[in-house]
Amino acid sequence: MAKVKCLAALLLIALASTEAALGPRGYGTRFGSAPLLERFAWRILDWNYPNEVSRQQAIASGDFQPENALPVGIEIWRDKLFVSVPRWKNGIPATLNYIPLNSVRGGAPKLNPYPSWAQNVAGACGSGLTTVYRIHADVCDRLWVLDVGTIGIGNTTVQACPYTLNVFDLTTDKLLRQYRLRPEDVNQNTFIANIAIDLGKGGCDDAFAYMSDELGYGLIVYSWQLNKSWRLYHSYFMPDPLAGDYNIGGLNFQWGEEGIFGMSLSPIALDGFRTLFFHPLSSNREFAVSTRILRDESRAEDSWHDFQVLPERGPLGHSTAEVMDDNGLQFFNLVDQNAVGCWNSLLPYAPSNQAVVARHDEAMIFPADVKVNRGLLWIMTDRMPVFLVSTLNYTDVNFRILTVPVRDAIAGTVCDNSPWTYTGNQLGGPYGQPWWDR
Ligand SMILES: *[C@@H]1O[C@H](CO)[C@@H](O)[C@H](O)[C@H]1NC(C)=O
Ligand SMILES: *[C@@H]1O[C@H](CO)[C@@H](O)[C@H](O)[C@H]1NC(C)=O
Ligand SMILES: *[C@@H]1O[C@H](CO)[C@@H](O)[C@H](O)[C@H]1NC(C)=O
């Protein structure tokens, strides 16, 4: 029954999408069966310079080259929408930026450097951010920002500064902590785009960061309390050699080397720990490990059997970012399908327990990041493969930030068919405890 419902929902999305594609774009455009709102849409990115003279000077000098800017990450904290832009090419004025949501409600807003222009100077190791991908705001009002320190992409990459974790106090915009990864934490292939932040039962100091090394095939753990990092290896971090071929945005290309990428953390389970879900980018599979293992440095060398293999998502299952909300609902970007999928973690991880919650063949080409904030699902799409493999068409809309209430997104899908129940203080479902909590 759930499956039938899910198919019907997909059909609705497909039909509505055709209609939406013919309609007007811009603020208020809706896609799919759920009201997917196009909040922001850009043909090309621009920045709020102190004045137009300085902007023109930056363009004239090459310090600002708008066609080189591609947004890759988002985060939402109160009235700030953060947008990260890597320095893959020259002329990116700032890598960490925000849009003030209280005053900017739609359109193609110019970006504002966060926390300042001075703290976004490339190659200013220790004082400026060079390249930032995905970022995370925690419930303790801290923004976790991994500066990978690189300028360029692929064979043009220069490591201008060491990999450095920066944690900002969002209430004061001051840097709370800066931690350089140890040389042993990285290797010559290291490329880290994603981080996950694990807050335990012990409050704000009981925090760990997990950083996935996509091309160096490792997981780096940072303990806030110990102010210390270490590196883990597992063969589950490797790409699946059969899953390296992609067809996205009308392009065929091969990303065969892409290993461990998107990660998400479950709610805290009965044993006091979360589960980290993760997947290599070139793979249709999800894996899982308890944070009990990750948090214990002594287990770094001896944890092979503590990692779990989950069933495959099925064909067209490549996924970039993923997120899990406080109810154990996971959302994951399905880049082959121009879509975002969901899985209710009270049910076993299986294609029959997953559904597409948003899909649009024009507006959602390459969903790069996904977040849940106060019951709202945020999706950023950026046509990244077209940018990297070909060239973007700058008379067309290329970058979008879309939202849909989680409740509407999952309505009528298998992700919505298990009423939440609470036993004591613990989350449970019709099948009892979630599988990761048994
Ligand atoms: C770098 O890679 C690009 C395409 O990926 C290729 O065209 C170029 O020749 C390469 N340059 C060098 C110096 O290897
Ligand atoms: C954390 O460790 C680094 C050295 O790795 C040091 O420079 C820094 O001051 C330490 N921070 C705190 C808060 O202890
Ligand atoms: C670029 O996008 C515009 C607007 O969608 C479209 O009219 C035009 O045909 C596109 N150009 C190419 C070369 O695809």
Q: Which atom of ligand 2 is nearest to the CA of 177?
A: 13
Between 424 and 103, the more confident residue is 103
pLDDT averaged over the chain?
90
What letter does residue 111 receive in the DSSP assignment?
B
Classify residue 162: in a domain, yes or no. yes
Classify residue 333: in a domain, yes or no. yes
What letter does residue 185 receive in the DSSP assignment?
G
Residue closest via CA to ligand 3's atom 4 equals: 396
Classify residue 416: in a domain, yes or no. no
pLDDT at 20: 36
Classify residue 13: in a domain, yes or no. no
Residue closest via CA to ligand 3's atom 5 equals: 396
For residue 101, what are the domain limits? 37-410
CATH number, residue 142: 2.120.10.30
CB contact set of 301 (below 8 Å; sequence gap of 6+)? none
Classify residue 24: in a domain, yes or no. no
Q: Domains in the chain: how many in total?
A: 1
For the segment 54-95, what is each residue's pLDDT rounded down to a tens digit? 999 999 999 999 999 999 999 999 999 999 999 999 999 999
Say which ligand is closest to the CA of 255.
1
Taking CA atoms, 11 is separated from 18, 271, 354, in Å, by 11, 41, 16
Say which ligand is closest to the CA of 183.
2
First to last CA, the chain: 27
Q: What would the mean pLDDT of 245-261 be, rounded to a whole number?
A: 97
Q: Which atom of ligand 3 is nearest to the CA of 397?
A: 5
Name the β-bridge partners of 174. Answer: 169
| pLDDT greater than 80 at residue 24 | no
Q: Which of 153, 155, 391 to mutate to test the pocket of ligand 1 (most atoms within 8 A of CB)?
A: 155
Q: How confident is the model at residue 301 (pLDDT cuts 50, 70, 90)?
A: confident
Q: How confident is the model at residue 352 (pLDDT cuts 50, 70, 90)?
A: very high
Classify residue 7: in a domain, yes or no. no
Q: Which atom of ligand 2 is nearest to the CA of 227?
A: 1
Ligand 3 neighbourhood includes 390 CB (under 6 angstroms): no
Q: Which of 179, 220, 228 to mutate to test the pocket of ligand 2 (most atoms within 8 A of CB)?
A: 179
pTM score, two decimals? 0.90
| pLDDT greater than 70 at residue 33 | no
Say which ligand is closest to the CA of 176.
2
pLDDT at 30: 53
Ligand 2 pocket: which residues have CB below 6 Å? 177, 179, 227
Q: Which atom of ligand 2 is nearest to the CA of 182?
A: 5
Cα(276)–Cα(298) distance, rounded to whole angstroms?
18
Pairing state between β 158-159 and 132-137: unpaired
Q: Which of 251, 391, 394, 396 to mutate to test the pocket of ligand 3 (most atoms within 8 A of CB)?
A: 396
Classify residue 322: in a domain, yes or no. yes
Q: Which of 125, 164, 165, 227 to mutate to test the pocket of ligand 2 (most atoms within 8 A of CB)?
A: 227
Q: Before 115, cis peptide (omega within 30)?
A: yes
What letter does residue 120 receive in the DSSP assignment?
G
Classify residue 31: in a domain, yes or no. no
SS3 357: strand
Closest residue by Cα to residue 419 from 311, 328, 325, 324:
328
| pLDDT greater than 50 at residue 323 | yes
